[in-house]
Chain A
Amino acid sequence: MRTNYLCEKEISGCSVAGIMSEEGRKFSGELIMKSISVMRERANGLGGGFASYGIYPEFSHLHTFHLIFENNRAKQLTEEYLKENYLIEKDEPIPTREQGSIKHPPGLWRYFLKFKKRRKEGGFTEEDKVVRTVMEVNTKIGGAFVVSSGKNMGIFKGMGYPEDIGRFYRLEEYEGYIWVAHGRFPTNTIGWWGGAHPFGLLDWAVVHNGEISSYGINKRYLSNFNYHCRLFTDTEAITYLFDLLVRKHKLSLEMASLALAAPLWDTIERFPDNLKSIARAIRLVYGSALLNGPFSIIVGHSRGMLGLVDRIKLRPLVAARSGDMLYISSEESGINEVSSSLDKIWQAKAGVPIIGELKCLSH
């Protein structure tokens, strides 16, 4: 099915939600499922998913791959390929339960991987190698798709309304300190589990509501750095941009936001001098990374969570704090549903990132 439309761009509207404890306190998936379920109107049952951080503490030093297999052959080929570079410490089916509305799930498997001891390859970090593995599996092994590839985190997604997907994956049984969720409203009917959000790479998990009109150049820009957008979704491009800017180019999330949702030139003119020169430099160098068009995104990573809306705020995003808890949601209802006592609640400003940072070091 997916190959038929492979050259077409996927377009979708959506709901997004994220909940995090900055103290690193863990809580079950119940909360996020409740939050995203009140925004059911924003999804159409063609995709839902979650990302959670801190769920595999006993394997926190291992790269954890969540995989979708459309057939046994794909599983076999993937395992052969993984074994070339990794030791599979543990692998198992991702636990699921019968859920009436979830039909024909593909094979869902998780692997806890350790690098084989090898002589060092010049210039490549462990993360670079994981990225390469993910790209190889996703592009070369038909019917196999890496859903997530971080440490001590995982992405659970599929075809259905998000709350049904959550129950299907038994998320109430997991405990994490960050949860990110997505309900999808695609305008086409591609029945493919890998196409749901969040999109993941390493410990990045991105959920996204919107359409990026700059996709064409974002994609070409990324290919300069060997990121190849094969899924024709904006979310894939956004994920790679975060990986490039933050992990590879070592920009902070604040600085990366200045690139992805760049302030208008007029606004930059009014910045203090040092910030003016930085914002100007960022626009000059990362102009092709500017995400232009309506979007609101929530990005999860192992040290925190980020919410961001486009430079002229064409999509909604609300945030709230209560003690050490940070809530981000497409609609206020998604926050009110899960917290009755908020310290503050505010509308995201165009291009201004909402940043949640883990205060403790234990995770």
Chain B
Amino acid sequence: MPISLILPEFMIERDDAKCIACQVCVRQCANDAHIYDDEEDQVYADSSKCVGCHRCEILCPTGAISVKVNRFQSKENANWTALVQRNIFKQAESGGILLSGMGCDKPYPIYWDHILLNASQVTNPSIDPLREPMELSTFLGQKPDKIEIDESSKEPELITKFAPQLFLEMPILFSAMSYGSISYNACLSLARAAKKMGIFWNTGEGGLHPDFYEYGENTIVQVASGRFGVHPQYLEIAGAIEIKVGQGAKPGIGGHLPGEKVSEDISHTRMIPVGSDALSPAPHHDIYSIEDLRQLIYALKEATRYEKPVGVKIAAVHNVAPIASGMVRAGADFISIDGFRGGTGAVPMVIRDNVGIPIELALAVIDSRLREEGIRNRASIIVAGGMRSSADIIKAIALGADAVYIGTAALVAMGCHVCQKCYTGKCNWGIATQDPSLTKRLNPNIATRRLANLLRAWSLEIKEILGGMGINAIESLRGNREHLRGVGLTATDIKILGIKPAGR
């Protein structure tokens, strides 16, 4: 029996006529898929090590390399596909849980692609965003149901006191990604881009490196089950605090940063010994029910003198609407809901691919539920989980979100090619790795610019769409499901989404 039955996932093809044996590919591949033979002065490929990140292909100066999916020709079988067989081979050889990175890649329905947007014709004019102001300003936080103004004197005065609000130039935030799961330069780029564009980035459960304190106003800090990096200054510096209960990629389970990634810097930031595994327990050991959550929310509010919003993040699961309602009633200023297509650095594949529900449905039922209960004003809704474009964002807002988190899209903007090997720590793009030889590949100046560009491009597109609808402020789209129509959906889907089918 051979040692392994697993065939390579990718085939590296090299055009020998073009290859000049410069060894760029050899140096670029952290997986050692390219080997230089100095006797022959020739570069060879070991396709079995290739993860399909395309770094070599893009950097090859002569364009000699192409990386292709290895479609091994087993007998066609809809049930026992090549992937299914590969996974069984892997587990039969290792006896372990299959790991993966990023979000669910299975072809579950993507409801965004079955929702179409509206535009003005004749009876109302569309508005040209090049000529007219288009307002994307977004405020996150608890709002009162009504306000009181004293108009008895000449100068009217506002009586109602407001809970703290987060101001965003556009309804987009960078999703939680910890220092540890991604590199210092990646975190720095997110922080800088957030500051530059007037939005927020999120520390995840990685703590906040002192170098990033200057971006505090644009930072949401997480308090998660491991409590890594949580100290008074951490809370003090942040713009807002997010209690992380769950994550879309892995609802119900915790996290694990392997000890080899816990460098000196990360050890300081997370407040754990160098080289020790950072294990985030599946539950918070002080939250076993909703009243415990309330205690933690108020403990954090007390600790920060009620000066900053405290939110709660959960994964979208089956009873998400009543859970969300409970979170709002427990005092969360914003609730973050992460759909099952949300990404992660490392996750058991079986969880990623089978647990949770799509964010579109979760959002629709949560927004409706909070309205039915008359508590929609009490908290803002941020949604996450596979937001791919400005179109997804605008549809999310029309369904009822106040803002969206983008994670994977931000990584892709920085160079990620979604090879799903984040958990190996060998990210050739310098993002999901702590190896100094790899992290230095990500130039924070360039990455910041690319992130800012993406946000700018999306905000321009959002303005175009709003203008087409005849709307010039984002709040008039928020929860405005009249501007959505479903195509190719079942009557049940339509009902849950709370939209009309196209044609009606």
Contacts and interface: CB of A to CB of B under 8 A. Distances in A.
Interface of A: 7-9, 11-13, 187, 210-211, 213-217, 219-221, 223-224, 248-252, 255, 262, 264-266, 274-275, 277-278, 281-288, 290, 292-294, 311-312, 314
A220 B472 contact: no
10 contacts: A7-B504, A210-B124, A213-B120, A248-B146, A251-B149, A278-B149, A285-B143, A290-B475, A294-B124, A312-B133
Nearest to B126: A213
A244 to B, nearest CB: 9
Contacts of B148: 250
A211 to B, nearest CB: 4
Given A255-B151, A292-B470, A211 B123 contact: yes
B165 A284 contact: yes
Nearest to B469: A213
A216 B479 contact: yes
Contacts of B371: 220, 223-224
B312 interface: no
4 pairs of A and B residues whose beta carbons are closest in the complex: A216-B482, A287-B475, A292-B476, A214-B476
A275 B151 CA distance: 11
Given A216-B481, A294-B125, A285 B147 contact: yes
A282 B144 CA distance: 10
B17 interface: no
Contacts of A8: 504
B482 A9 contact: yes
A278 B147 CA distance: 9
A46 to B, nearest CB: 14
B478 interface: yes
Given A213-B470, A281-B158, A224 B374 contact: yes
B158 A312 contact: no
A255 B156 contact: yes
Given A213-B469, A283-B475, A288-B478, A274 B147 contact: no
A293 B471 CA distance: 6
Interface in B102-144: 120, 122-125, 127, 132-133, 135, 137, 139, 143-144
A151 to B, nearest CB: 25
Contact of A277 (B123, B158, B398, B473): B158
Contact of B478 (A211, A215, A217, A252): A217
A251 B120 CA distance: 32
B39 interface: no
B156 A214 contact: no
A290 B473 contact: yes
Contact of A262 (B158, B377, B473): B473
A92 to B, nearest CB: 39
Contacts of A216: 398, 479-483
B162 A281 contact: yes
A285 B377 contact: yes
Contacts of A265: 135, 137
Nearest to A211: B124
B482 A215 contact: yes
Contacts of B146: 248-249, 285
Contacts of A290: 473, 475-476
Interface of B: 120, 122-125, 127, 132-133, 135, 137, 139, 143-149, 151, 155-158, 160, 162, 165, 371, 374, 376-377, 398, 469-473, 475-483, 500, 504
A351 to B, nearest CB: 12
A292 B135 CA distance: 12
Contact of A252 (B123, B143, B151, B500): B151
Contacts of A293: 124, 470-471, 476
Nearest to B374: A224
B478 A287 contact: yes
A284 to B, nearest CB: 5
A274 B479 contact: no
A275 B156 contact: yes
Nearest to B371: A224
Contacts of A288: 475, 478-479
B129 to A, nearest CB: 12
Given A284-B143, A285-B377, A312-B472, A217 B480 contact: yes
Given A213-B469, A312-B472, A13 B123 contact: yes
Q: Which of B147, B165, B469, B483 has the most CB of A within 10 A?
A: B147
Contacts of B483: 213, 216
Nearest to B136: A265
A323 B491 CA distance: 60
Nearest to A215: B482
A152 to B, nearest CB: 26
B127 A312 contact: yes
Contacts of A266: 133
A316 B20 CA distance: 72
B485 to A, nearest CB: 12
A217 B470 contact: no
A311 B132 CA distance: 11
Contacts of A219: 482
B128 to A, nearest CB: 11
B470 A294 contact: yes
Contacts of B123: 11-13, 187, 211
Given A281-B162, A312-B132, 7 more contacts: A211-B124, A265-B135, A274-B156, A278-B157, A286-B147, A292-B472, A293-B471
A285 B144 contact: yes
A213 B123 CA distance: 10
A274 B158 contact: yes
Given A282-B147, A288-B478, A311 B160 contact: no
Contacts of B165: 284
A286 B475 CA distance: 9
A108 to B, nearest CB: 30
Given A213-B124, A265-B135, A277-B158, A292 B377 contact: no
Contacts of B127: 312
Contacts of B476: 213-214, 217, 287, 290, 292-293
Nearest to A251: B149
Contacts of A9: 482
Contacts of A282: 147
A275 B376 CA distance: 26
A214 B471 contact: yes
